């Protein structure tokens, strides 16, 4: 992304912001889905990320390379905030009187059949990671940011990114269920940890 476009975004140019959305919405969505594991939640994160990006546009450096780390950093913070709100909502709902009506879940289950087993296995392994480890894994392994860019996105030192990523990989390697009679995870480790690496813009 050239410096002129950065300056236009900082100045509040709507056309420039549209170009930003077109260039990075898919990348932000993929990152959000990897952190949340839910399609609808990821869509919400995308909307909120670009709203925050517009609100925070003057904080974008006028010069520099890709703005992808900046956007993914915003998306990471939005995900944290939406999770906190979801936990508060769930706690409030849990305090309500229970409904004894039994719902028919057939349609909902049918819509979630695709890749359910594989997604469940990966999400179970990811759930064993600390939040900070999941975030750095999503940025470095799946979104393809280098250590420096991930550190910029998270606002932490590069060494912290390296150590968190190392711990995350070790935990995933340990907790992904091996096939019977073998000491390896199902499939290639790189595939299990990050099926898609997005290119840097």
- Give the single-character DSSP code of 129: S
Higher pLDDT, 89 or 113: 89
Query: 70-88 pLDDT, tens per residue?
Result: 999 999 999 998 888 777 7
Residue 55 confidence (pLDDT) above 90: yes
Residue 4, CA atoms < 13 Å, CB-side half-sphere: 1
Structure tokens at 110: 């049918």
The CATH architecture one would assign to domain 1-94 is Orthogonal Bundle (1.10)
Q: What residue ranges do the domains of the chain occupy?
A: 1-94, 115-201
Residue 170 confidence (pLDDT) above 50: yes
CATH code reported for the domain at 115-201? 1.10.10.10
Band of residue 28 on the pLDDT scale cut at 50, 70, 90: very high
Mean pLDDT across the chain, nearest whole number?
79
81/141 Cα distance (integer angstroms): 23
Residue 65 confidence (pLDDT) above 90: no
Average pLDDT over residues 32-61: 91
Closest CA to 153 of 77, 44, 42, 99: 77
- In angstroms, how far is the first alpha carbon of the chain from the final one? 7
Q: Do residues 138 and 126 lie in contact, with contact meaning Cβ atoms separated by under 8 Å? A: no
Residue 188 confidence (pLDDT) above 50: no
Higher pLDDT, 61 or 187: 61
Closest CA to 78 of 114, 94, 54, 106: 54
Higher pLDDT, 20 or 189: 20
Band of residue 100 on the pLDDT scale cut at 50, 70, 90: low
Band of residue 57 on the pLDDT scale cut at 50, 70, 90: very high
Band of residue 19 on the pLDDT scale cut at 50, 70, 90: very high
Higher pLDDT, 175 or 129: 129
Residue with tokens 């944290």: 80
Query: 116-129 pLDDT, tens per residue?
Result: 666 676 777 778 88
pLDDT for 180 equals: 47
Higher pLDDT, 132 or 188: 132
């Amino acid at each position: 992304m050239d410096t002129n476009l950065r300056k236009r975004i900082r100045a509040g140019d709507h056309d420039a912001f549209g170009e930003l959305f077109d260039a990075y919405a898919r990348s932000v969505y993929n990152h959000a889905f990897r952190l949340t594991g839910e399609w609808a939640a990821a869509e919400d994160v995308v909307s909120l990320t670009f709203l925050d990006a517009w609100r925070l546009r003057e904080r974008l450096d006028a010069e520099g390379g890709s703005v992808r780390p900046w956007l993914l950093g915003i998306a990471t913070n939005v995900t944290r905030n939406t999770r906190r709100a979801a936990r508060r909502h769930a706690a409030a709902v849990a305090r309500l009187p229970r409904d004894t009506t039994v719902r028919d879940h057939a349609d909902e289950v049918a819509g979630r059949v695709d890749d359910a087993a594989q997604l469940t296995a990966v999400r179970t392994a990811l759930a064993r990671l600390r939040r900070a480890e999941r975030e750095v894994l999503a940025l470095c392994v799946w979104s393809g940011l280098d250590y420096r860019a991930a550190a910029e996105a998270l606002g932490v030192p590069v060494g912290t990114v390296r150590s968190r990523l190392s711990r995350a990989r070790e935990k995933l390697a340990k907790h992904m269920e091996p096939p019977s009679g073998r000491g390896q995870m199902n499939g290639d480790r790189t595939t299990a940890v990050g099926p898609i690496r997005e290119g840097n813009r």
